[in-house]
Amino acid sequence: MRTSQYLLATQKETPAEAEVASHQLMLRAGMVRKLASGLYNWLPSGLRVVNKVAAIVRDEMNKAGAIEISMPVVQPADLWVESGRWDDYGPELLRIKDRHQRDFVLGPTHEEVITDLVKTEVNSYKQLPLNLYQIQTKFRDEVRPRFGIMRSREFIMKDAYSFHIDEQSLDETYQRMHQAYCNIFERIGLQYRPVIADSGSIGGAVSHEFHVLADSGEDDIAYSDSSDYAANVELAEALAVGEKTAPSQRIKLVDTPNAKTIDAVSKLLECDITKTVKTLIVNASEESEHDFVALVLRGDHSLNNIKAEKLELVASPLQMADEAAVKAKLSCDFGSLGPVELGFPVIVDRSAERVADFVCGANQDDKHFVGANWESDVKDYSVADLRNVVEGDPSPDGKGTLAITKGIEVGHIFQLGDKYSTAMNCGVLNETGKHEVLQMGCYGIGVTRIVAAAIEQNNDKYGIIWPTSIAPFSVVIIPMNMHKSHRVMETAEKLYKELSEAGVEVLFDDRKERPGVMFNDMELIGIPNSIVIGERNLDNQQVEVKDRKSGEKILLNIEEVVSHIQNLG
């Protein structure tokens, strides 16, 4: 491709709306242009990258035994009513009507359509397992589209759905998809982690997210420094920390005027914050005989809502108790609560339970207890994992300690079980001739999001540094003053022809621009290699080949260039 016949569309200035690196660079490098909030045009360079990513995903999916199909973006509402998600999905689902006033949706995902398809096309267990996928545009009417391509409303996703006669078969395919995803991210060349995830509202039991590690990520991931363990912070199990010491003090009531927070109390009483506990009152579940449940954490730890609401005694969704209602019962404010003689169930975090001689609220305004102990002073309580993990906690798998990093979710795989197949009555005849509902798995990869994530992870002050696997071009020819020098032009044309014929994706910057302009544009776009041709080196029949990532330059004889570039992979 010649730049003179291409739409390069680079720009010097960064549009004010772009916050994150990938968004800024994609705009400046001429990859995308915004059409409206969360909607983007893909320009030639951007589309080339999208297609590269899609090709790798497609190849690995095929290798893993999945079969490509294509389903419509517009879907009839009936199917969503049938699955129950017409009501459950909320405003993120864009609903439209056709000319006959029939309801349709723009597909944010395709569980309904695929389940309906398989229901009619697959009738026997002999046709299973089956894993179907598509690479296709999705639409989600995000509350707040942001970060450019990272969270747009329209995006390209690879979504696969597998169907099984039993859970064992589902698990086999799930493991195979897990491996295929690892292959994809490794082949693209990104730093990533598979993490144990919450299956969320899509339902199902087992689930992993695949995260590209980058500081601008929206999710927090806890991972072990010495094993493969990684989990979303929301889910990471928090083991007990701190030594369990024997009680050495008797409980004592002290005045703590105006000390309503853990910080204030520990400061006033001059005690370490890890020797305090805090008490949070939440609404109890309906099955419970009480109105409230007290959740007790060590002073420096924070409550994990997801863990809390999974407890039997706790109402789901989790709801903090109304302060007035608590005051009516205990006649004190939130700032003076403690687990001693509360009159409703007390659940203590594992780490809080290890603290002896602790400081806690006395359930009287402006009073706290010091030297309190579980066995002697609280007596009736249970212990559970309630808190968020923090950096330095022991890893739940027993190997190493946890660190926390930011990640960009680029893939998510689920074992759905029979949620959709039951709702939509999707089954086959089994070996005994009886109708059996299918087990399902679903596996998504954000193709366009990977493009943005790759930039987040690979850029410098000059621009994008594409991994070779997904670069829009493998090499660019940058001639110095070609329009003045016949020798330069001849060499450039020759190399362009030879590289093109060798099947190398080569860009030829034949614009009548100054060298600095070309260097800057090509570094911004992030092409992995450039061939600089100038009078200077032609005297020795040589050209310069420069690596975008390392900045290293080497001189090569002209006839060596093509094989050298090919060997770079």
User: What angle, rounded to 10 degrees, do the helices at 44-63 and 167-188 form?
Assistant: 140
Distances (CA, A) of 461 to 529, 541, 549: 17, 33, 12
Among 91, 117, 119, smallest CA distance to 106 is for 91
Counting every residue written for the chain, the total comes to 569
CA-atom Rg of the chain in angstroms: 30
Burial class (CB in 10 A: 0-12, 13-18, 19+), 163: buried
Distance, in Å, from the CA atom of 73 to the CA atom of 62, rounded to the nearest integer, reads: 22
Nearest approach in angstroms of CB 131 to RNA is 16
Closer CB to RNA, 220 or 333, in the complex: 220
Closer CB to RNA, 1 or 259, in the complex: 1
Closer CB to RNA, 354 or 412, in the complex: 412
The DSSP line for 372-392 is E-IIIII-S-EEE--B---TT
Q: Confirm or reject binding of residue 12 to RNA (CB under 7 A).
A: yes
Nearest approach in angstroms of CB 274 to RNA is 26
Q: Confirm or reject binding of residue 537 to RNA (CB under 7 A).
A: yes
Q: Which amino acid is at 310?
A: K
Quote the DSSP letter at residue 20.
S
Closer CB to RNA, 302 or 331, in the complex: 302
Q: Confirm or reject binding of residue 509 to RNA (CB under 7 A).
A: no
Q: Which amino acid is at 251?
A: I
Q: Confirm or reject binding of residue 484 to RNA (CB under 7 A).
A: yes
Tokens of 335: 């700032």
Q: Confirm or reject binding of residue 7 to RNA (CB under 7 A).
A: no
Considering only 98, 225, 263, 535, the residue that binds RNA (CB under 7 A) is 535
Closer CB to RNA, 77 or 538, in the complex: 538
Q: According to CB under 7 A, which residues from 89 to 118 bind RNA?
A: 90, 92, 109
Q: Strand pairing partners for 293?
A: 282
Contact 230, 468 (CB under 8 A): no
Q: Confirm or reject binding of residue 16 to RNA (CB under 7 A).
A: yes
Nearest approach in angstroms of CB 159 to RNA is 7
Q: According to CB under 7 A, which residues from 451 to 480 bind RNA?
A: 462, 480
Closer CB to RNA, 12 or 244, in the complex: 12
Considering only 44, 242, 247, 515, the residue that binds RNA (CB under 7 A) is 515
Nearest approach in angstroms of CB 59 to RNA is 20
Q: Confirm or reject binding of residue 144 to RNA (CB under 7 A).
A: yes
DSSP-H helix ranges across 236-290: 262-268
Query: What is the bridge-based pairing of β-strands 219-224 and 427-429?
Result: unpaired
Nearest approach in angstroms of CB 361 to RNA is 25
With vertex at residue 478, the alpha carbon angle to CA 551 and CA 519, rounded to the nearest 5 degrees, is: 50
Distance, in Å, from the CA atom of 513 to the CA atom of 231, rounded to the nearest integer, reads: 50
Considering only 446, 472, 526, 528, the residue that binds RNA (CB under 7 A) is 446
Considering only 231, 546, 558, 562, the residue that binds RNA (CB under 7 A) is 546
Binding mask 181-220 for RNA (x = CB under 7 A): -------------------xxx------------------
Q: Confirm or reject binding of residue 10 to RNA (CB under 7 A).
A: yes
Q: Confirm or reject binding of residue 146 to RNA (CB under 7 A).
A: yes
The DSSP line for 135-164 is EEEEE---SS-BTGGGB-SEEEEEEEEEEE
Instruction: With CB under 7 A as the rule, give the number of residues binding RNA.
Output: 53
The binding site for RNA (CB under 7 A) comprises: 10-17, 19, 36-38, 90, 92, 109, 143-147, 157, 159, 200-202, 409, 411-412, 444, 446, 462, 480-481, 483-484, 514-517, 519-521, 523-524, 532-537, 544, 546, 553
